[in-house]
Structures are given as C-alpha cells and as structure tokens.
Structure 1
Amino acid sequence: MTITQLHYVLAVAEHRNFTLAAEKCFVTQPTLSMQIQKIEDELGVLIFDRSKKPIQLTDIGQKIVHQAKNIVNEADRIQDIVDQQKGFVGGEFHLGIIPTIMPTLLPMFLTNFIKKYPKVQLIIEELNTEDIIFKLNNGHLDAAIAATPLHEEKIKEIVLYFEPFVAYIPEHHNHFAKKEIQIEDLDVDELLLLQDGHCFRDSVLNLCKRKTDDKRSHFQLESGSFETLIKLADEGLGTTLLPYLHTLDLKESDRAKLRHFVEPKPAREVSLIYPKNELKIHLIDALRTTISGVVRGAIAFQNVQIVSPKPTK
C-alpha cells in the first residue's frame, strides 16, 4: 500500500467516478482502477460498490477513507516540517473569502502579501460560509476569511478584527436627522437585505431579532450587492446596513447618509479560519501578520457587541 494509492482512493471517494478521479490525479483511468484494485486485493475487502451509480463507498470503505485522509495529511506534514525548519514560505495556498469581505479586505493586503512572500502561489476563491466550511473540512482550502464565531468542531478561528455595522439612512427618512442610532430604531420591514445565503444578512436579522422566514409587512426586496442596496435606499425603498470597511469607499455625498450606532456598536467578528489539522501553519501565520498589519489602522473600534453570523433557528 502506498501514499499514491491512498490519494487515488480519496479522489474516487470525492468524485464518485473513476474517470473524473483519474483526470484530477493526472493518470489514466485504467492505471487508477488497477491501483485501487491492488489495495482492495491486499486488504481483502471492497472499498467501493461499483454496481451503484454514482459509485458508493462500502461500510468498511468509509472507515478506510477516513483513515486514508489521516495518513495522507500526516505524510504531507513531513514537507511542512522541513519548510518551517528552513524558514521557507512558498508553494500553493488555497484561500476562501466570503463575498461581503472580499471586495474591501483583499485590495488592502494582497499587494503587500505578494511582495513580501513572492514564492507563495495564492489561489483565492470567493465562497459563501457554507461552501467554505465544506471545502475546509474536505481539504480543498488551506484557510479562509469569514465572519465568526462558527462553532465548527474541526475548524480553528483566529480573530483578525471587529467590523461595526453602519446604517445607511437616505435624506427623506425620519432617522436622517439623528447623529447616532440605536438598534431599536431599525425597522426590519423596511431594511433592504442581501440575498439569502449571505452570512451578513443573517447577522442583520439576528441583530433585529427577526427570523428569516418571517413575512414582510409590505414588500420584500433582496440584492446580491451593497451597491444595489444603496441605490434602492436612495430611491426611497428603505434603509440598509453596511459593514464599516465598505463605507470607506463611498463618495462623500453617500457618506453623509451614514449613521453609526451608539456604543457598544453592533459588529461582526472577522477571522482567519483553518482546519485544526492544517499543515501550512507558517503560511497561515504569514497571512495573519500581513492582514493584521494593514487593518490595524483602518479598524479602531473596541467597544463593540458581536452579532452572530449563524442564522437564527
């Protein structure tokens, strides 16, 4: 039994298809099938039930795949140990970022990180929180940046910063004259929200203590971008909430419509998250240090109240 053979087993377990697994492993399908057959012959059991479409793991196959993941991870850790000993920071690093953080945070740190660590090939994906958790748990991401706490047993969280919510109140609204607002001032029936699936939406609804399946009193309008929400608010269709970093890029006329909350300000916790058994800890530390260095000056809020990004049950 070899590490390469275990890689093949994991590929088939993931894709449930020998041909696709072979493509992902850059080998021919007969080669991959033969190597998996060798493992099954050696163990005297069937790992896959080939009679089903798509291919399914047998009961013993599920246990074998679980152990194979541990073995492959520990084998990969050897190279990680060597890299850390040599002080080498390089190689591929797969990073996921949620959509409400990507546009504002990524431009702040990416150039600095690339210049400081030119040997790192940073592969970045914009993903919602649910997809990030799935990909972290299945080894398709090395780390991610998301709103926390997530309370995921297998995922570690390192807080990067706290980002307050800021209300966008158009001039025609009765709260426009206020210098600061309170949570009680929010009317969830007039709040313009991001589409379902965004954790920022769930945070706003949790802040308002309103469940996602409640009915609106007049109309329901959801968008996939903050820019659209701002334009709709200006058209008299309601108000909205924005993450603080997003407000820094607004034009001066729009910034005049922003209203901060009284302290403690409701805020989201933004963290660098990664599997507890992650191999590339030196790369994670490099990323954390870079991001912390650039956001320290932009985020100066301390007296905040963290709002959960998890949907209310």
Structure 2
Amino acid sequence: MTITQLQYVLAVAEHKNFTLAAEKCFVTQPTLSMQIQKIEEELDIIIFDRSKKPIQLTEVGQKIVAQAKNIVNEADRIQDIVDQQKGFIGGEFRLGIIPTVMPTLLPMFLNNFIKKYPKVKLIIEELNTNEIITKLKNGHLDAAIAATPLEEEKIKEIVLYYEPFMVYVPQQHPKFNKHELEITDLNVDEILLLQDGHCFRNGILNLCKSKSTHSESKFQIESGSFETLIKLADEGLGITLLPYLHTLDLKESDKQKLKHFVEPKPAREISLLFPKNELKMHITDALRNTILGVVRGAIAFQNVEIISPLQKK
C-alpha cells in the first residue's frame, strides 16, 4: 500500500467517478483503477460499490477513506517539517477569497507578498463561503479569507480585521441629512441586496432580523455587484449597505452619501481560515503577517458588534 494509491482512493471518493478522478490525478483511468484494485485485493475488501451510479463507498470503504485522509495529510507534513527547518517559504499555496473581499483586500497585500516571498506560487480563487468550506475540508485549499465565525469543527479561524457596515443613502432619501443611523432607521423593504449566495447579504438580513422592528422583509431588487446597487440607489430605488473597505474607492461625490451606524457599529469579522491539520503553516503565517501589515493602516475600528455571516432561519 502506497501514499499514491491512497491519493487515488481519495480522488474517487470525492468525484465518485473513476475517469474524472484519474484526470484530477493526472493518470490514465486504467492505471488508477488497477492501483485501487491492488489495495482492495491486499486488504481483501471492497472499497467502492461500482454497481451504483454514481459510485458509492461501501461501509468499510468509508472508514478507510477517513483514515486515508489522515495518512496523506501526515505524509504531507513531512515536507512541511523539512521546509520549516530550512527556513524555506515557497511552493504552491492555494488561497480562496470571498467575492465581497477579493476586490478590496487583494490589491492591498498581493504585491507586497509576492515581492517578499517570490518562491511561493500563490494560486487564488474567488469562491463563495460554502465552496471555501468544502475545498478546505477536501484539501483543495491551503487557506482562505472569509467572513466569520463559521462554526466549522475542522477549520481554524484567525481574525484579520473588523469591517463595519456603511449605509449608502441617496440625496433624495429622508435619512440623507442624518449624521449617523440607528438600525431601526432602516426600512427593510427598501434595502437593495446582493444576490443569494453572498455572505454579506446574509449579514444584512441577520442585522435587520436581530434589530429591526419589522417582522418580514420583502426585498424586490437584488444584484451581483455593489456598483449596481449604488446606481440603483441613486435612481431612487432604495438604499444599500456596503463593507467599509469598498467605500474607500468611491468617488468623492458618492462618499458624501455614506452614513456610519452609531456605536457599537455593526460589522463583519474577516478572518484567515485554514484546516486544523495546519499544513503549510509557515506560508499561512507569512500571508497573515503581510495582510496585517497593510490593513491596520486602512481599518482600525474596535467598538463594533459582529454580525454573523451564517444564514439565520
């Protein structure tokens, strides 16, 4: 039994298809099938029920896959130990970032990180929170940046910063002349939202449900970008909420339409996530320190109330 064979087993367990698993492992399908069959013969058991579509794990196969994940992770840790002993920070590092953080945070730290750690091959994906959780658990991401807390048992979270919610209020709106807003100032029926699937949307819904006197919300307009929401608000179709860092790049005329909430300001918690096996922690720590070095000067809010990104029922 080899580590490579166990990696093939994990690939089939994930993709539930021998051909697709072979493609992901960069081998031919007959090679992958033969190696898995060798393990089954060696152990005298059946790992996969091939009669079902898609392929399913047998009862004993589920236990073997769980143990195989541990073995492969521990094997990967050997290279980690060597790299850390040598002080080497390099190699491939896969990072996931949620869409509402990517366009503002990434330009702030990416250039610094690349210059400081030129031997790291940073592979960045824009993913929603559910995709990030799945990929972290399956070993397809080394780390991620997302709104927290997520309450995932197998994932660790280190807070990077707290980002307040800002209210974008067009000039024709009755609340435009207020300096700061209370949560109860919001009419939930007129808030323009991001499309379903964005955790920032969930945060707004949770904020309104927890503090607003309205019992039901009837959101009529949803969009995939903050830019569209701003334009819709300017057309008199409502107000919208924006994350603080996104407001820094607005035109000066649009910044005049921004309102803070009274303290404690409702905010989202942005964290660096990574699996609890802590593989490649030397690179994760380098990434964290780089981000902290640039973000502290841009955002320093402390008196905040964290709004959960998890969708409340």
Match of 1:242 in 2: 242
CA distance in 1, matches of 2:16, 2:225: 35
Letter in 1 for 2:269: E
Match of 2:13 in 1: 13
Letter in 1 for 2:41: D
Match of 1:158 in 2: 158
**Structure 2 residue 162 is matched with structure 1 residue 170:** no
CA distance in 1, matches of 2:29, 2:221: 49
SS of 1:171's equivalent?
A: coil
Q: What TM-score, normalized by structure 2, do the two folds share?
A: 0.97
CA-based RMSD of the aligned residues comes to 1.3
SS of 2:161's equivalent?
A: strand
Deviation at 1:215, TM superposition (A): 4.9
Identity across the alignment (%): 80
Deviation at 1:81, TM superposition (A): 0.5
Letter in 1 for 2:50: R
Aligned 8 A contact 2:247 2:255 in 1: yes
Which of 299-308 and 283-292 deviates more?
299-308
CA distance in 2, matches of 1:32, 1:115: 40
Letter in 1 for 2:23: E
Structure 1 residues 76-124: Cα deviation after superposition (integer angstroms, max 9, x where no partner): 1000000011111111111110010000000000000000001111111
Q: Which runs of 5+ in 2 are unaligned?
A: none
Aligned 8 A contact 2:136 2:142 in 1: yes
Letter in 1 for 2:261: F
Aligned 8 A contact 2:170 2:233 in 1: yes
Match of 2:121 in 1: 121
CA distance in 1, matches of 2:17, 2:43: 21
SS of 1:242's equivalent?
A: strand
**Structure 2 residue 126 is matched with structure 1 residue 88:** no
Aligned 8 A contact 2:159 2:269 in 1: yes
SS of 2:170's equivalent?
A: coil
CA distance in 1, matches of 2:46, 2:200: 45
Letter in 2 for 1:95: L
Match of 1:270 in 2: 270
SS of 1:60's equivalent?
A: helix
SS of 1:310's equivalent?
A: coil
Deviation at 1:298, TM superposition (A): 0.3
SS of 1:208's equivalent?
A: helix
Deviation at 1:278, TM superposition (A): 2.6
Match of 1:54 in 2: 54
Alignment of 1:60-71 (within 5 A): 60-71=60-71
CA distance in 1, matches of 2:88, 2:140: 22
SS of 1:4's equivalent?
A: helix
Alignment of 1:243-262 (within 5 A): 243-262=243-262
Alignment of 1:113-152 (within 5 A): 113-152=113-152
Letter in 2 for 1:161: Y
Deviation at 1:15, TM superposition (A): 1.3
Distance 1:215 1:303, change over 3 A: closer
SS of 2:310's equivalent?
A: coil
Aligned 8 A contact 2:92 2:120 in 1: yes
**Structure 2 residue 304 is matched with structure 1 residue 308:** no
- The ranges of structure 1 where at least 4 consecutive aligned residues each deviate by more than 2 angstroms after the TM superposition are none
Q: Which runs of 5+ in 1 are unaligned?
A: none
CA distance in 1, matches of 2:203, 2:268: 8
CA distance in 2, matches of 1:55, 1:262: 55
Match of 1:292 in 2: 292
Alignment of 1:212-231 (within 5 A): 214-216=216-218, 220-231=220-231
